[in-house]
Structure formats: structure tokens, C-alpha cells
Structure 1
Amino acid sequence: MFSKEESIDLREKLIGESCQLFFRKNPLKIVRAQGQYMYDEKNDAYLDCINNVAHVGHCHPAVVKAGCDQMSLLNTNNRFLHDNILLCARKILNTLPENLSVCYFVNSGSEANDLALRLAQIHTGNKDVIALEHAYHGHLTSLIDISHYKFDLPGGVGQKEHVHVAPIPDTYRGKHRDSDHPSDRLGHLYAEEVKYLCDKIRETGKGVCAFIAESLVSCGGQVIPPRGYFNEVYDTVRSSGGVCIADEVQVGFGRIGKHWWAFQQYDVYPDIVTMGKPMGNGHPVACVVTTKEISDSFSKTGVEYFNTYGGNPVSCAIANAVFDTIEAENLRENAVVVGEYLLDNCQMLAKKHKAIGDVRGVGLFVGIDLVADRESREPDGRCAEFVHRRMREEHVLITIDGPHCNIIKFKPPMVFTKENVDAVVSTLDRVLKEYRETSELFAVNTAKAPPSGKATKEPQHRPIKSMLEKQKIKSI
């Protein structure tokens, strides 16, 4: 094994510079993981609040065994008849509305969204796509084109003619806010923005190809769209000739707890659903599910769809084990109980710290909006940067996202516990207090905001250490 310094040096030489690490100034070298914990080369433990990929917990024994067992028997492409892909398709379809009845297996969420666009284009005969402001749908060229989160960057490709961007339905920080309108009007107001785009497309003599949106908007800042929004949007898009794509890559497989899929809480019926990340607990497997009508349109082209690794026996064995584990360990129920506990505790924390402007979430998908001023809702990216670094020093791993880089994101493995929540919240409480005290000190001495590079206290790691001792997690 290379030393950490050797690994950093080799990465700088061998890996593309645009492939960035978490904590770039002082990256973590993670060598193993178990459950909701990750361990560095010194065997120090970190509580993982980042990895929605390790959906049922890092290196879950049942998932690992399923992959190893199948790999020892057979791994080939899906053009040979094999039962694993059929079992996996049946498990998926049993969780979805009846209109969604046909599966296509791929390797990643990006591949899934790319195929969804292709299905939509062929079925509708249209090209124009409506996506959300600040949305991200994957790294393929077709997806960068519709991902405002990427194409609108200073070095981005810019907005293509066939792409139309609707305002993100963020009721706290978006175009239509809960401070300006009754809550029961917000869904309609944001849906009207999509209607405007549909009308604009039709005025040019074209039709809508698709509306694509995450059921809960992740990179855009852990945004929970308002009630009624998707219902109106779906009706409008369909009347304009388009289909509706629900991107469940980040939020599917029971993360919201009460349902298998986040779109189900809105009582809508997508034409296409895409899924990825958590499906294989870190193994590359993903899926597109659509209606028979759309699938028939795709088949009628006469062009075969073939994906070498999509739906191979090993990938499907692993995905089946993930499904079984979610059910056997009642992880959806855990997401409800622990998610509500996390949300409640973060909302209580907001009463203590003016830096917290908003707390929002469903299940184990929670965001904290950090602000410089609660009245104006001015985002505080400096505070977020401080919190991000200090939480890592306290051995709690979080990410910061949103258009202003001021949203703390929680999307941990589904095995997260109330004790984990206590550790996270108590640590965040101390860190926010440090930031406030540091800010006040610098305001007095220099009338400037505090620099982000110096902590007021040495890292203590108390909650994580006591938790590990209590749970008797031992070194491997």
C-alpha cells in the first residue's frame, strides 16, 4: 500500500485534474468501511453522512456474499437467458405503479437517464426537453446538456437550443417563496413556469419531448417540491406531447421511508423512472422502467438495444440482495423513524443558531440552509465551508451543495441510527457555536468575516469515539 503522501503524488500525476476529491486541501485516504463508518489508513473511524450509494451500509455481508457467490458461478452479458435479471425486474416492478411494466438494465444512473431521453425522443418524435434550474442528471454529453448545474458553470457548454430550464421549485430560496405566497399556491405558481415553457415550445411549431426532474432535488440544495407541483406539471407536459421522467437515482429505493420511490409521495404516475446509485450498494447497476407503449415505440425502430454489462448475473444478484436486505432489516421503517428524529433535532438546532435559515427533508434526505441573515435569507457559503471542514476534523463526513454552496446535505446509509443523529447534531451544535464566536471576535477586531482556515479548538472526536466504543466496533 502507498503512503498517503505517495497516493496524493501519484493521483496528481496519473488521474485527470478535473476528477476532484472531497477535502481537496487535505484529502482523506479511506481504506475500508463497514455499515455507516469509514476508516482511514490510520484506522480512524469517520461517521458517513454522505454515501447514499452504500444504501444498506458499506460492505453489507449479505450483499457481498451474493456477489461473490454469483461471480464464482457465472458472469456474462444479458443476451444469455438467466434468471437473476428476471428476478430483479420482478422485484422492481412490484414496487411501482402498474403502468410501469418494462425494464431496461444499464450500469449507472447516467446511462439510465441517457436511455430515458432516447426512449422519450423516439416515442414522441420531439427533441425539446424541460429540466430544472440547478439540476444534475449525469455525466454523459446528453445529460450535461440538460443539467443546469453543469452547463451553466463559467467553463460549461452553455444552454442548447433544445433545452428549456424551469425555475427550481424551492419554496424557501426560489423564485416563488413561502414568505410571499400561501403555501397551497406555491405548487401551482411553479407549475405555471413549466406551462409557460411548454407554450413557448409549441409556439415555434414543435412539441415537448420530455420533462425530467429528480423527485427530490439533490444537487440543487436538498429541495422538496411543493404539493401539487408534479401533478400540474405532468398534465401540462403530456398535453404538449411530452412524457414525464422521474429521476430516482439519488432518492429511490426507500430513502424517504414511507414509499419505495420519492415520486410516490406526490401521487403521480411517471412515464419513465430512472434508478441507479443505491441499487447495487456501490456495485455498478442501474435500471430504466417505462410503459409498454413507450417500450413498443422503441422496439418498432428495429434497432436492437444491447448493453454488454447491464443486467449481468452478478449485478442482478447484488441488486436482488439489496432489495432483500431493505425488507429483511426494515430499512424503510428505519428511514422514517431516524429521518424524523434527524429532522426534528436539526429544527431544534435552528432555534439555537441564527446561521440556520431552513431545515427541510423527507426520510434520510435532509438539508440545512445556512444563512448570513434570516430576514433576507442571504446564503452563507463561508459558514458552510467552515462547518464542512470542522465536521471532518471531528470525524463526521458531510457534503455542502446548492447553487450558493451553503446547504449541508445529509443522505447517509439507510442503517443510520438515532445515536448517529445525536453524534452529528451535538457536533454540529459545537461547530456552529465556534463559528459564531469566531465571527464575533473577528468582527470586533477587524470588522471582517472570519477566515475559513483556522479552527478555534482542536478536534475532539468525542461523539464518534464514544459511539464506537459503545457499539464495540473493532479494528479488522
Structure 2
Amino acid sequence: MEQMTKKETIALRDKHIGKSCQLFFRQDPLKIMRAKAQYMYDEKGDAYLDCINNVAHVGHCHPAVVEAGCRQMSILNTNNRFLHDNIVLCAQRIINTMPDKLSVCYFVNSGSEANDLALRLAQIHTGNRQVITLEHAYHGHLTSLIDISHYKFNLPGGPPQKDYVHVASCPDTYRGKYRDSDYAKEELSKLYSDEILTICQNVSSEKGEKICAFIAESLLSCGGQIIPPDNYMKNVYDHVRQNGGVCIADEVQVGFGRLGKHWWGFQMHDVIPDIVTMGKPMGNGHPIAAVVTTEEIAESFRRTGVEYFNTYGGNPVSCAIANAVFDTIEKENLREHALVVGEYLFDSCQILAKKHACIGDVRGVGLFLGIEMVKDRDLRTPDKATASYVLKRMREEHILVSADGPECNVIKIKPPMVFTKENVDEVVSTLDRVLKELRDSQQKSSNVKSTEVPSKEPRTRKSLKEDRIKSI
């Protein structure tokens, strides 16, 4: 079939795709035709360095992953009601990375399905329905998950908060309710986790009920790349369990070794969840996800007598791909790579922050990093305009980053795991130049009303490499 022009693609999309399905860079969306490792290519063949696609966990179109999927698809693809090696081997691979008590797998198609099933397991096992979630949290697009995702239901036009959903403050020690500028480090985890205890007590006294579940990402992505303070998760898990609930760790964004030191984000907090959910990175872009839980919770689910069946969850092709992802992480030492490159990325961004007052905070672990843009460092006033400008200019320089957080002022960097130190140099030097041009423009005119300045002519990737700034 003859390739459509970009204009034709946009016209057909406008005609047939729901308007709620939004694109990156809406004013001038990218048309991506192919990708390899940490690079994506548009219809003109221009390369873009991908700093946001944690879905392509081991790199876009990794040959070993592609080959495993093609080979299995040429032999058999069917549902998981037939006995097959791939699903049990995949379950074994996952379980081998988990604490001993987490030993039972359920396979699904997406992180959203995984979190929905996790809630169902929690409700059946505890017999309760009260759920505790975090401010700015996002757990998926299913109705059950929109109901517990403050990131969604708090929007204008969003559904009203359900009476069984209780929202605790996001444990953001930089610009949250309790800040490291106001409290000692050891106080912060208690202040934030005490909110969970208060919710548990209120549920008991006002509703006469116990808690069903506490659900949280191990590190909060949509909340602005938030790393909870030390002992926060330990305290929260204790409070929830003492009040009848189970603890769900959402690892869709940060699992599978992205943090470097650990396979899973919850291990960073020295806790053991009752249920773990995973998704995106598991199939390197192929739709496969999973829920891992204890034998006790799985037995509660079995005793209902209601069969759990997912037509495509755990099919032979999906599991062959997931197994290839595990193989690739191990053979290419990608966890160690994420640790080394992640530390280099963090240190480089810290140096950059010393040069630019608009960078209020740099935080991250492994290849999961956030750069908070502010108008005033002392007041920590969020600067969405500068973040938006950075996104636009970096795209013009063929580097793709995104922004999130409640004020959309946190630049997110969570690239494929094959990201290199050379890639870090390119990102940081380009960001340095972009912020300098913005600062210079603002200094030239004290009456400037917008942080946006006219964009320079974008350069090719070749010229970017030839002219990389080495000043950092």
C-alpha cells in the first residue's frame, strides 16, 4: 500500500479516530514510521532520540524480541486454556525475581487490566471495599481505575469521587503538603504516612468498615516523578494491614529493572506487597501484563467458584516475547547499565541545575528521572510555561521528552534501557543551550510576557553531534 502523506494521515485520523485520543505535539504531531533501539524515525527518515518511551523497555524493535515473537507466531498462537510451556516458563521467570511469598501469577493484556484484576483480588480476599489511593495517581483507563485515579477524576469534567475512594496526599517532599524545607527528613515519612492511618481510623469510625486495599506506584510517575521518603511505604503498609487491607504495588512504570539496583520499585522501599502489577515494559511494546500475588489471596479467589479467563492473556506469542525481554535484560546486563547511566544522568542534571535557576529540583533513580521547572527556587513556584517551551524546543532539536506532575512542570526522562552516556551528553547539552537561549531572551526584555521565544531553525542529528556543547 502506498504511504500516505502526513497531511492525509491527519485528515483520516480527524475523521475516524475519537477526539479524546490525543497526540504528542498536537500542533505539529510527529508521524513515526520506524524505530530502533533508542531512536525513532519520521516519514522523512529524520531520527529522534527517544527519552520517554519506557514501553520499548529493551529498545525499539530489539532483534531477539522480534525474532522470538515471529518464530512463535509461525508455529502457534492460541488462548491459555491449552497447556503450553511459554506461559509457565514466563511465570517462573517473574516469580524468581520476587520475594518468596509472591508466588502466583495471572496473565492479562495491559497494565490497566492488571490493576483492575488486583482490585478484584483485594475485594474478594478482604471482603471490604474501601480503597486508599494517592493524590495525582494514575492506574489505568478502565472505569474501575479511573475511579481510583485522582490524576483523572480530579480533572474538570471528570467523574465525581466515589464514596469508597479515599485520597491521601502525594508524598512529594519537594513541593507537596509537607516539604523538606520545613521538616527534618525523618519527620516527612511519618507526616505523610499518618494521613493513611487517619483515613483508616475514619473509615472505621464513620463507616464501620475496614480497608480493602492501598494502591500506589512504587515511584509516582504522573505525580511528577516522585520518590517517596524513606520508611513511608513501610509505615503505610503497616497501617493498612492493621486495618484489614492489602497492599498493591503498581510497577507498570518502574518495574523490570529500570531503577538499576532492583528488579522492582517496591524493593527500594524494603517492603513486600500483597499484590504486584506490571505491564508496559514486559512485552517491549507487545500487549502483555501480569498480576503476582500470594497463595493465600489466590486461594480466596479460587474459592469463589468463578473461573477467571482472559482470552489473550498469557498466549504463547505474548509469553515468548516476554521471555525474550527477560533474556535480553539479563544477557545485556541492562539493570547494571541502567544504574551506571542513570547515575551519570542524575549527576549531569544536577550540574545543569547549578547553571539554571529555573531548575528547582532534580530527582530520580536509574533511568527514571524528573526535572522540576520553577519560577522561584525559594517559593518553589511551578513553571509550566518553561516546561512547555522545553518540550517544544527539544523536539525541534530531535530529542523527545515529556512533562507531567499536577502543574505539568516536571520534565520526565524515562528512555529505553539501552540509553547511553553519549545520549545523556546530548540531552543535557541541548537542554543547557535551550535554557540559556530562553534566559538570554528574557534578560533582553524586562517586559516579556511569555517565556516562549521564537524557535531557531532545527538542526539535523549530524550537526547536533558535531556541535555538542561540552561545557557541562
TM-score of Structure 1 vs Structure 2, range by shorter chain: over 0.9
Aligned to 2:459: 460
Residues 364-411 of structure 1 show CA distances to partners (whole Å, capped at 9, x for unaligned) of 000000000000000000000100000000000000111001000000
Following superposition of structure 1 onto structure 2, how do residues 271-290 of structure 1 map, counting pairs within 5 Å? 271-290=274-293
Whole-angstrom CA distance in 2 between matches of 1:272 and 1:464: 49
Whole-angstrom CA distance in 1 between matches of 2:73 and 2:215: 36
Whole-angstrom CA distance in 2 between matches of 1:24 and 1:389: 11
- Partner SS, residue 369 of structure 2: strand
Whole-angstrom CA distance in 1 between matches of 2:465 and 2:449: 37
Q: CA RMSD in A?
A: 1.3
Asked if 1:267 corresponds to 2:270, the answer is: yes
TM-fit CA distance, 1:460: 2.7
1:81 pairs, out of 80, 83, 86, with 83
Aligned to 2:201: 199
Aligned to 1:127: 129
1:391 pairs, out of 374, 390, 394, with 394
Amino acid at match of 1:297: S
Aligned to 1:474: none
- Partner SS, residue 44 of structure 2: coil
- Partner SS, residue 165 of structure 1: strand
Q: Is the 8 A contact 1:47 1:464 kept in 2?
A: no
Aligned to 1:215: 218
Following superposition of structure 1 onto structure 2, how do residues 239-254 of structure 1 map, counting pairs within 5 Å? 239-254=242-257
Q: Is the 8 A contact 2:438 2:453 kept in 1?
A: no
TM-fit CA distance, 1:466: 2.7
- Partner SS, residue 308 of structure 1: coil
Amino acid at match of 2:151: Y
Q: Is the 8 A contact 2:189 2:230 kept in 1?
A: yes
Identity %: 71
Q: How many residues align?
A: 465
TM-fit CA distance, 1:121: 0.3
Aligned to 2:54: 52
Following superposition of structure 1 onto structure 2, how do residues 139-178 of structure 1 map, counting pairs within 5 Å? 139-178=141-180
Q: Is the 8 A contact 2:189 2:231 kept in 1?
A: yes
Q: When the two structures are superposed, what TM-score results if normalisation uses the length of structure 2?
A: 0.97
Following superposition of structure 1 onto structure 2, how do residues 49-448 of structure 1 map, counting pairs within 5 Å? 49-203=51-205, 204-443=207-446, 446-448=447-449
TM-fit CA distance, 1:436: 1.1
Aligned to 1:22: 24
Whole-angstrom CA distance in 1 between matches of 2:236 and 2:359: 31
Q: Is the 8 A contact 2:395 2:401 kept in 1?
A: yes
TM-fit CA distance, 1:464: 7.3
Q: Is the 8 A contact 1:442 1:449 kept in 2?
A: no
Q: Is the 8 A contact 1:395 1:464 kept in 2?
A: no
TM-fit CA distance, 1:171: 0.4
Q: Is the 8 A contact 2:217 2:249 kept in 1?
A: yes
Amino acid at match of 1:9: A
TM-fit CA distance, 1:189: 1.1
Residues 307-359 of structure 1 show CA distances to partners (whole Å, capped at 9, x for unaligned) of 00000000000000000000000000000000000000000000000000000
- Partner SS, residue 246 of structure 1: strand
Whole-angstrom CA distance in 2 between matches of 1:468 and 1:112: 45
Asked if 1:39 corresponds to 2:41, the answer is: yes
Q: Is the 8 A contact 1:207 1:241 kept in 2?
A: yes
Q: Is the 8 A contact 1:136 1:147 kept in 2?
A: yes
- Partner SS, residue 424 of structure 2: helix
Q: When the two structures are superposed, what TM-score results if normalisation uses the length of structure 1?
A: 0.96
Distance 1:425 1:145, change over 3 A: same
Q: Is the 8 A contact 2:133 2:215 kept in 1?
A: yes
- Partner SS, residue 46 of structure 1: strand
Residues 91-138 of structure 1 show CA distances to partners (whole Å, capped at 9, x for unaligned) of 000000001010000000000000000000000001110000000000
Stretches of structure 1 lacking an aligned partner (at least 5 in a row): 470-476
Stretches of structure 2 lacking an aligned partner (at least 5 in a row): none
Q: Is the 8 A contact 2:259 2:367 kept in 1?
A: yes
